[in-house]
Amino acid sequence: MKKWVLSVAITVTLIGCTSSPQRANSNLPTGMVLLENVKQQQANIPYKKYQLANGLTVILHTDHSDPLVHVDVTYHVGSSREFAGRSGFAHLFEHMMFQGSQHVADEQHFKVITEAGGTLNGTTNTDRTNYFETVPSNQLEKMLWLESDRMGFFLPALTQEKFEVQRATVKNERAQRIDNRPYGRLNERFNQALYPQGHPYSWPVIGWPDDLERATLADVKHFFQRWYGPNNATLTIGGDFDEAQALAWVNQYFGEIPAGPKVSATPKVPVTLDKTRYLSMEDKIHLPLIYMGYPTVYAGHPDEAPLDLLAEIIGGGKTSLFYKNMVKEGVAVQASVSHPCQELACQFTLYALANPSQGGQLGKLETKINQSVAEFEQRGVTDEDLQKAKVQFKANTIYGMQSVKGKVSTLAANQTFYNNPNQTVKNLAQYDSVTKADVMRVFNTYIKDKPMVVMSVVPEGQKQLIAKVDNFVAPKPKVAEHAVDMEVSSKQTTSSFDRTIMPKAGATPVVKVPQLWRTTLSNGIKVIGTQSKETPTVELVIYLNGGHRLESVSQSGLANLTAAMLHESSQTRSSEAIANALEMLGSSINFGSQGSQSYIQVSSLSANLTQTLAILNEQLFTPAFNEQDFNRLKQQQLQSLQQSASDPNYIASTKFSQLLYGDASPYGVPSSGTLETVSALTLKDVKDFYQRQYRAGSAQIVAVSDLTQTQITTALDGLTKWQGDANAITPLMASKSAPSKVIYLYDKPGAAQSVISIGRKALPFDADGEYFKADLMNYPLGGAFNSRINLNLREDKGYTYGARSGFSGGDEVGRYTARASVRTDVTGASVKEFMKELQQFQSHGMTEKELDFMRNSISQAHALDYETPYQKAGFLRLLQRHQLTDNFIDTQQDIIDNITLAQLNQLAKKWLDIDKMIIFVVGDKKLVKQQLETLGYPVRIVN
């Protein structure tokens, strides 16, 4: 089901207590008015809404449960505010506004927040751009200083050099996320056909490359002045803070920024098609894909809710008609329906990935899709359809309130698009009131016999697989004569105080490490848990020692296939009946496998835990292991492997592991298996592995819930009948890496970028030994955004969208890896820069400033570690898996505080020797081989 905008309730109590606007309040800073005070009730996020004289909307949501704050600044500008032929400006500004402002130095934004122990990012879509950071609560004033400076004082720091670097970064992002990714260009091609030429959704958010090349510094300055004023922005603050103090800071830092030009709403013009449009595209893929779509309404339209439910009923999971008619029959590997909505328009989309073993003809899939839609029309909507969808909506609502970030993002989006932070209350009522007749009405209005867009994406050279011959060619994008729609002022903002002085942080907040409880079930299964009262939910994970390590190398992929089989039919019910039961509860059960463990993840509303665990027991103890299910899942796994082989990043990951550990080691073969190993697997292999892996003696449980220890252990009583000793895992044999001082090249013809991996075998995980200390050593080199490697390759050179390095360690082995996707034309230069940074850091180590930065950043980040149930569960699992003491964080902090520069630099000398590292590149041989040969190492081609 489409992820609706989430509110924070499951009942249908609709109104909080809202006060009238207070335009005269002596307790408020001058010029600030209180517009709303929405208190906590069962169907809302409590907040207070203010407005400054310059038009800035301010929303405050207090939550004192964790010592952190989340700050979000949302500007009502996305790609829809651009002109045809001048695309990509909004996304470009997402990058530009991290590059410093008049009183904040270059790269300082990332450094300040990272050193404060926070996280940050920005995102752009068709209709808005937002910037956000989560930091310890004592850092709030500093965040407001940073955000206000780039709102009011950005242009004086904007230079041609910064513009060119970020333009190159955006090009790299496009190459990495679109051009070098399977199906990456699907959406932009599809939207050209769905929307008329010149419609603001007819061009991609990231922009057309030619438009970015055409842009000038003057263009982007005008774009900023037009759209990034306080009257087109919403500042939302959530978390642990004092409201009066926060308002005073907001007024100080934002109040004197002048309003920008008046902003009017973009008209919502209905989108229509005169006939069904067919188009196709060849791509570097294995699985042919058909993607169909109808134009519908717009976000917030009364018909949005029933259209969402319609999409869920036709193609929303194992209980849908799409799954039954295509995935279950094996003609498709995946198939789904959704109804994504944007501010100006929504689209009803249907897609399926064809199974090449069944021919892969997209024309057949189009027929199957149309037959499924016709079957829906004949069958109609059932009471169960509606009830199931509404239960899921209410469950998703509760899961969405597990973090302050989630609540702040919801408030900000609702204010931006509906001028109502409390919009989710209205949404909840709308979805709850949808009737069967409503669903059939919107089907007849927007879908039945209506023209649509049908796009085929096929492997290169296989045009015979397309659904129908193309009858649509996208018109060449128009070039706008100008980049702004009005004259804007060139006057610079002045400040009444010295903004060059960065505010000091307040007193360091007390980190609230979860209070733990432990117990052992009567059959010996150890359980560790904590109570989290913020949401009435349960996150339960059962871990089983084994996973990929329990299977032989020749049977790689068996653990994954066995876990997939446990999602299927039981001895008493079909997989569809089980899925239906879980959906009616708003619960999910996920079986999976990783390198050294299999797992079972259970998410449930607390009130439904007993029924959810009854379904788990059915799946776990009485699987049917049907031959038909096995054949279908095996075929899906094989097709997935072949599809992955077209992804340069998958190739880089799997082939690099093979070079490090060899193909005779389980760590040198992917846990998903290979075509050879998965092809040889039988149903008997699955049954045998199930008996070996899914034993009580190998199991441990982590639980995070608002329920008490007694309530959880009582609910787990059904698992006490689980028996079996711990499984025996074959000891790991010694493995030999491929020779170093060689550059290994995997030829990927036509690759839009090269993927570079440089590294070596390293240390297994430890919490307070050499592995932990080595990770501290690497932090300023490649562990943060403003690390040496990323600043060099991304910010200084413009070679990549991002570059990182780091240690990763498991129970038995570990590795050190430096990695980036880079422009093809600078592949050799990028490897050279990697080598230079590693060699310099090994020779000279980190500086005293870098040591201070590492200490501050990692120490203060603990305030963010335990907020959500998922984070708490991860912390508990770390304790349980590695048998750590409850206060191991204190031990780590002592190391961080006292480790010396000499000790860290000695670790750099030991682990960063480039002559002991493997250099591996995935790229187009004819374009990069010669570049690599200039580096002085032999270049060896690998298959």
In 810-848 the beta strands, taken as DSSP E runs, fall at: 814-823
CB-based burial of residue 778 (10 Å sphere; 0-12 exposed, 13-18 middle, 19+ buried)?
Answer: buried
Q: Which CATH class is domain 45-254?
A: alpha beta
The whole-number pLDDT of residue 3 equals: 35
- 918-923 vs 743-747, strand pairing mode: parallel
3-state SS, residue 379? helix
Q: Whole-prediction pTM value?
A: 0.89
Q: Residue 568: which H helix or E strand, with range? A: none
pLDDT range class, residue 66, cuts 50, 70, 90:
confident
pLDDT range class, residue 851, cuts 50, 70, 90:
very high
The whole-number pLDDT of residue 481 equals: 59
Share of the chain above pLDDT 90, in %: 71
Bridge partners (DSSP) listed for residue 354: 332
Q: List the single range of 528-532, 606-610, 859-863, 886-890 with lowest mean pLDDT.
A: 859-863
The whole-number pLDDT of residue 512 equals: 76
- How far from 782 is each of 122, 422, 779, 854, CA to CA, in Å? 21, 42, 6, 12
pLDDT range class, residue 334, cuts 50, 70, 90:
very high
Query: Could you tell me if 263 and 227 are in contact, meaning their C-beta atoms sit under 8 angstroms apart?
Result: yes
The whole-number pLDDT of residue 11 equals: 28
**Is the per-residue pLDDT at 835 higher than 70?**
yes
Give CA angle at 789 (788, 791), nearest 5°. 65
Bridge partners (DSSP) listed for residue 72: 132, 236
The whole-number pLDDT of residue 124 equals: 93
Residue type, 59: I
Per-residue pLDDT tens for 387-420? Answer: 888 777 777 777 777 788 889 999 999 999 999 9
The whole-number average pLDDT for the span 218-222 is 87
Quickly name the fold that domain 516-721 has: Cytochrome Bc1 Complex; Chain A, domain 1 (3.30.830)
Bridge partners (DSSP) listed for residue 822: 754, 800
**Is the per-residue pLDDT at 15 higher than 80?**
no
Q: How large is the greatest C-alpha to C-alpha distance in the chain, in angstroms?
A: 77
CATH assignment, 743-942: 3.30.830.10
The whole-number pLDDT of residue 743 equals: 97
Residue type, 667: Y
Query: Could you tell me if 122 and 94 are in contact, meaning their C-beta atoms sit under 8 angstroms apart?
Result: yes
3-state SS, residue 8? coil
- How far from 282 is each of 83, 203, 357, 642, CA to CA, in Å? 29, 20, 19, 17
**Is the per-residue pLDDT at 718 higher than 50?**
yes
The whole-number pLDDT of residue 816 equals: 98
- How far from 922 is each of 227, 645, 653, 785, 935, CA to CA, in Å? 41, 12, 10, 24, 16
Half-sphere exposure of 358 (CA within 13 A, CB side): 23
Query: Could you tell me if 721 and 894 are in contact, meaning their C-beta atoms sit under 8 angstroms apart?
Result: no
Residue type, 474: A
Per-residue pLDDT tens for 585-600? Answer: 989 999 999 889 999 9
Domain extent listing, the chain:
45-254, 277-402+411-465, 516-721, 743-942
pLDDT range class, residue 13, cuts 50, 70, 90:
very low
Query: Could you tell me if 59 and 246 are in contact, meaning their C-beta atoms sit under 8 angstroms apart?
Result: no
Query: Could you tell me if 233 and 258 are in contact, meaning their C-beta atoms sit under 8 angstroms apart?
Result: no
Higher pLDDT, 864 or 730: 730
CB-based burial of residue 902 (10 Å sphere; 0-12 exposed, 13-18 middle, 19+ buried)?
Answer: exposed
The whole-number pLDDT of residue 130 equals: 95
pLDDT range class, residue 517, cuts 50, 70, 90:
very high
CATH assignment, 277-402+411-465: 3.30.830.10
CA 681 to CA 677: how far, in whole Å?
A: 7
CA 485 to CA 226: how far, in whole Å?
A: 9
Identical fold at 516-721 and 743-942?
yes
Higher pLDDT, 210 or 901: 901
The whole-number pLDDT of residue 488 equals: 54
